[in-house]
Structures are given as C-alpha cells and as structure tokens.
Chain A
Amino acid sequence: GQNIDQPTEMTATEGAIVQINCTYQTSGFNGLFWYQQHAGEAPTFLSYNVLDGLEEKGRFSSFLSRSKGYSYLLLKELQMKDSASYLCAGIYNQGGKLIFGQGTELSVKP
C-alpha cells in the first residue's frame, strides 16, 4: 500500500513555529496535499505540492522532497485557532487514489 506516516500529536506555544513531518511511499506518487480539520468539521485545503521545494502561503508553508518521500508543513506565528488536526495526503495512480495519513493533532497553548 501507499503508507502515509505522520506524528499522532504535537504541542506548541502561541506565537511559535511548528513543523509537522510526513513520510510517504514513492511508488506511483503524483503529489501531496495538506488539509486542516477542526474537531467535528470537514477537512479544509491548505496546500498542494507536486514539485520539490517550498511553497509559502501566508503563515503556512509546505515542503516536498520527492526523492526522499518526505514532506513537512510549517506553521509560523501560531495562534490558538491553529489547534486542529493536520492531514497529510498523497495522490497516487494518476489521480485516482488519495491516501491520507492518520493526522497530527496539534495543540497550541498560551
């Protein structure tokens, strides 16, 4: 299968920077998404990476290394509202299959 692995939970302080890592199997890989999901709500799109490198979007950045099967989501200037689950998802087989990691539960503390 196309395992997607990410830490189960992380804790960070308001105003700080946090990096959430994700590793994935490279066979059949097309690209990688990051989604944010607040408790009881639907996931919402954060970023998509298909090429190596860093994509910056406001306080959030996402990085991809295709050769290493590795991605990370970087959150800067953390706010309390950033407390949520962050889902890493790889798209495989020419776009058909979207495989999610189990999600990283981020707690932002004052």
Chain B
Amino acid sequence: EAQVTQNPRYLITVTGKKLTVTCSQNMNHEYMSWYRQDPGLGLRQIYYSMNVEVTDKGDVPEGYKVSRKEKRNFPLILESPSPNQTSLYFCASSSHRGMNTEAFFGQGTRLTVV
C-alpha cells in the first residue's frame, strides 16, 4: 500500500530537548516536504526537498533542520524545541517536483513542547 509514515503520532517534550520526527514514503517519490498546521494559520511549509541531498527552506524554517540522505526518508529535527513549536506537523511526498501531481500526506504528528 502506497503511504507516507510519520512517527511518532503524538509527542510531549520539554523545552530544549532535541527531537526527531521521522517521515518515510514507499512510492519512490522525488519530492518531500514538511508542514506545520496551526489554528487560523493553515498549513505552512517548513522545508522541502526536490531529491536526495537537495533541501530548501519553506516559509517557516527557523528552529528546524532536515536531511535527505536517501530518497524514502525525510526526518524533521528540532535541535532545541521551544513552546512556540507546539503544533500539528505533516510530512508529504509527491513525484516530479510536486508539480501536477497530488501530494500524499502522512497522518500527522501532534507535538507539544512544555
């Protein structure tokens, strides 16, 4: 089954404790992206990757890092989480640089930073 898998689904952590949210897709997609979703603000792009070893900033990259060492995985790293990073996070993938093809979304990771 074609899918995007995020882990964990829920996470409560403390300020400053490094964490990684994993994202994996089994569709051999070139394009992967991370979003955060906050009430009243909609989905905002954090980082995206056009292919292996190619990553670019989205609209809200501050406080986040990503890596794309292999095609299927695109982890999101918070080196020093802060309460303003409490949010619902989605990973998505699509073929052909995201153009003209639907993005498949993971089920989301609800992160709370206290």
Which residues A69-96 have CB closer than 8 A to chain B?
Answer: 87, 89, 91, 94-96
Count the A residues whose beta carbon is within 8 Å of the partner chain — how many? 24
B94 to chain A, nearest CB (A): 9
What are 19 of the A-B contact pairs (CB < 8 Å)?
A: A30-B99, A31-B99, A33-B103, A42-B105, A43-B90, A43-B103, A44-B105, A45-B102, A45-B103, A45-B104, A96-B50, A96-B98, A99-B45, A100-B42, A100-B43, A100-B44, A101-B42, A102-B40, A103-B42
The secondary-structure label for the interface of chain A is strand
Q: A94 and B97 in contact (CB under 8 A), knowing A1-B59, A43-B90? A: yes
Q: Are B99 and A95 in contact (CB under 8 A)?
A: yes
Task: Digitize A49-67: 1 where CB-to-B-CB distance is under 8 Å, 0 elsewhere.
Answer: 0100000000000000000
Q: What is the CA–CA distance of A99 and B43 in the complex, to the nearest angstrom?
A: 8
Number of A-B contacts (CB under 8 A): 65
Please, which residue of chain A has its CB at the minimum distance from the CB of B102? Answer: A45
Check if B84 is an interface residue, CB within 8 A of chain A.
Answer: no
Please, which residue of chain A has its CB at the minimum distance from the CB of B105? Answer: A42
Check if A106 is an interface residue, CB within 8 A of chain B.
Answer: no
A51 to chain B, nearest CB (A): 11
Check if A97 is an interface residue, CB within 8 A of chain B.
Answer: yes
B17 to chain A, nearest CB (A): 26
B53 to chain A, nearest CB (A): 15
Chain B residues positioned under 8 Å from A97 (CB to CB): 45, 48, 58-59
Q: Are A50 and B100 in contact (CB under 8 A)?
A: yes
Q: Are B108 and A42 in contact (CB under 8 A)?
A: yes
Q: A102 and B42 in contact (CB under 8 A), knowing A45-B102, A95-B31, A96-B98? A: yes
Q: What is the CA–CA distance of A99 and B98 in the complex, to the nearest angstrom?
A: 12
